[in-house]
């Protein structure tokens, strides 16, 4: 189990809202901490991947579920 400092539910939101929720959440935590973000947006993995690569954050893990995906993102 991954220990998270903040859980964000972006279920039901479509691009770009899940990414905006992730960015806002990252501003609320300290470097090294992890966010758990749940989304149903099928394009979220692309948006999160590009953003994290550009900003230096790391997607620790992601879990596909029947109704969406849970991402674990560590702030740089």
Spot the catalytic one: 6, 15, 17, 60.
15
The phi and psi torsions of 66 (rounded to 5 degrees) equal -55, -30
Whole-angstrom Cα distance, residue 6 to residue 16?
20
52 counts as catalytic: no
Model confidence over 16-45: pLDDT tens digits?
A: 999 999 999 999 999 999 999 999 999 999
> Mean pLDDT across the chain, nearest whole number?
97
For the chain, where are the E strands, in sequence order? 6-10, 34-39, 58-65, 68-74
Domains and CATH numbers, the chain: 6-74 (3.30.110.40)
Residue 35: per-residue pLDDT? 98
What's the CA angle centered on 15, arms 14 and 19, to 5 degrees?
110
Residue 1 predicted with pLDDT over 90:
no
pTM for this one?
0.95
Whole-angstrom Cα distance, residue 59 to residue 48?
8
């Amino acid at each position: 189990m991954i220990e998270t400092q903040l859980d964000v539910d972006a279920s039901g939101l479509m691009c770009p809202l899940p990414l905006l929720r992730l960015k806002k959440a990252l501003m609320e935590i300290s470097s090294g901490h992890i966010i758990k973000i749940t989304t149903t947006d099928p394009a979220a993995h692309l948006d999160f991947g590009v953003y994290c690569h550009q900003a230096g954050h790391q997607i620790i893990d992601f879990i596909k579920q029947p109704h969406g995906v849970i991402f674990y993102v560590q702030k740089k």
